[in-house]
Amino acid sequence: MYGGFRGNIVELYSMYKIVKPNVILKCVKCGQIYTPKPRLFLCPKCGSLIDVIINVEEFRWNKARERRFGVWRYRELLPIRDEVEPVTLGEGGTPLIKLRNVYERGIVDSRNVYVKFEGANPTGSFKDRGMTVGVTIAKYLGVEGVVVASTGNTAASTAAYAARAGLRCLVVLPQGGVARGKLAQALLHGAEIKEVEGSFDSALEEVLDKVLNEELSGYYPLNSFNPWRLEGQKTISYEIVDELGTTPDFVIVPVGNAGNISAIWKGFKELYELGLINDLPRLVGVQAEGAAPIATAWFRGLTEPLFIDKPTTIASAIRIGRPINWFKAMRAVKESNGFFVTVSDEDILNAMKILAKYEGIGVEPASATTLAALIKCVNEGKISRDDLVILVATGHALKDPDTVFRAIPA
Ligand code: F0G
């Protein structure tokens, strides 16, 4: 089994200075332990993905709260050494907005629902949480640039953080498959753009192949097979608990490449294991009907996804047929006693309009899947009216104006 390029001597030495001494890497499947290597993405023993494990000595909310609300408030729980100055644009610290009007108007029969509005991040999506950590590592490794495959948001975020760090940025995109706001951001921040035929899956395959074959050794990859990036994304959970002071009953998350739901579960589990919360939430992973390789497998009781070649959905951010983090995500949802749901494009557009029109929250279609899923779950009795529910609204409405114009002709 090919373990991948793990970093040259300079990078290995740099990594030692970037990452805390109490951090190890662990294979998600076979459990093999490794010392931190910047380019160890697949377990050399079994080929599975890797998790970052931090042996946290102490974390106190009071001390953390002396810092700004955002990703770096939780430094003790992040793998980066205290003396390393992060590449940051002030990411995280996003609003947790309680829905009011949809219940009162009888549109959603659930009265304890909050939207974690990730559209309020610097580039308008949750990806910034991962990139502040990922690009910080890239900068101090001394690489020339960073590279990602993307349905758009990862590209926009990587381009901005690379610009901030003074690094080159190469983004590989599915031709015609990226919403215009995201493409504009990648261009504006100076990314080099390469388009490939097919879906996001072809773009990711190209990046992963090149990384494993060491063809891109000057570039550091920041897709979600990079476990360091997911460390930033787990702070969504820390912030929810920090602000609510309790654990929600359900957290509903859109699932594409399945990295974010895995990171969110890791965040909650860490708080639980540190004794900082007494309960864990149930996770609900949402996929669009035409791009549901994990959810359809779940419905059939399978333990592996049913990959699809031509994913279709209006929610281009999650138009993914071969999610690389499927194992982590299925394990997370199972461990949490949660489940997967699919929603139709019609339901997605409807939910997007409801959030925007009745609550003033403008999200892109992928994020609207969470409200569509909530409505479905409440109707089916899977979530009850009084449950405390978080909808992770992953990206801003401005990302995809064309879909808005199609849904609501001017
Ligand atoms: N929501 C939005 C707005 C996204 O951009 C993505 C992923 C997801 C949800 C799903 O997150 O992949 O961790 O399961 N966008 C990636 C990208 C694929 O390239 O921007 P996931």
Establish if 393 belongs to a structural domain.
yes
Q: Is the pLDDT of residue 408 over 80?
A: yes
How far is the centre of ligand 1, averaged over its atoms, from the C-alpha of 187 (Å)? 19
Establish if 32 belongs to a structural domain.
no
% the chain with pLDDT above 90: 95
pLDDT-derived band at 76, boundaries 50, 70, 90 = very high
**pLDDT average, residue stretch 183-194:** 98
What is the model's pLDDT at position 410? 77
Give the structural domain span for 327: 96-124+229-407
**pLDDT average, residue stretch 173-178:** 97
Residue with the nearest Cα to atom 12 of ligand 1?
A: 257
Mutation pick for ligand 1 pocket among 151, 237, 314 (CB with most ligand atoms within 8 Å): 151
Closest to 261 measured CA to CA, from 225, 234, 238: 234
Question: Is 221 touching ligand 1 by the criterion CB < 6 Å?
Answer: no
Residues sharing a CB contact under 8 Å with residue 128, sequence separation 6 or more, in sequence order: 89, 91, 92, 121, 122, 157, 160, 161
Establish if 260 belongs to a structural domain.
yes
% the chain with pLDDT above 70: 98
Q: Is the pLDDT of residue 205 over 80?
A: yes
Establish if 23 belongs to a structural domain.
no
Q: How far is the CA of 299 from the CAs of 193, 330, 339, 340, 395, in angstroms?
A: 38, 12, 9, 8, 27
Question: In the β-sheet with 113-117, what is the strand arrangement from edge to edge?
Answer: 96-98, 113-117, 389-393, 250-254, 282-288, 339-343
Establish if 173 belongs to a structural domain.
no
Establish if 163 belongs to a structural domain.
no
Q: Is the pLDDT of residue 220 over 80?
A: yes
How far is the centre of ligand 1, averaged over its atoms, from the C-alpha of 337 (Å)? 23
What does the radius of gyration of the chain's CA atoms come to, in whole angstroms?
20
Residue with the nearest Cα to atom 15 of ligand 1?
A: 317
Question: Is 255 touching ligand 1 by the criterion CB < 6 Å?
Answer: yes
**pLDDT average, residue stretch 96-102:** 97
Residue position matching structure tokens 């097919």: 198
Question: Is 256 touching ligand 1 by the criterion CB < 6 Å?
Answer: yes
Quote the mean pLDDT of the chain. 96
Tell me the pLDDT tens digit for each residue of 362-405. 999 999 999 999 999 999 999 999 999 999 999 999 999 999 99
Question: CA 274, CA 331: separation in Å to the nearest integer?
Answer: 20
How far is the centre of ligand 1, averaged over its atoms, from the C-alpha of 318 (Å)? 6
CB 125 within 8 A of CB 153: yes
Establish if 135 belongs to a structural domain.
no
Tell me the pLDDT tens digit for each residue of 330-368. 999 999 999 999 999 999 999 999 999 999 999 999 999
CATH number at residue 296: 3.40.50.1100
Establish if 179 belongs to a structural domain.
no
Question: Is 317 touching ligand 1 by the criterion CB < 6 Å?
Answer: yes
Q: Is the pLDDT of residue 3 over 70?
A: no
Tell me the pLDDT tens digit for each residue of 117-131. 999 999 999 999 999
Question: Is 370 touching ligand 1 by the criterion CB < 6 Å?
Answer: no
Q: Is the pLDDT of residue 5 over 80?
A: no
Number of domains in the chain: 1
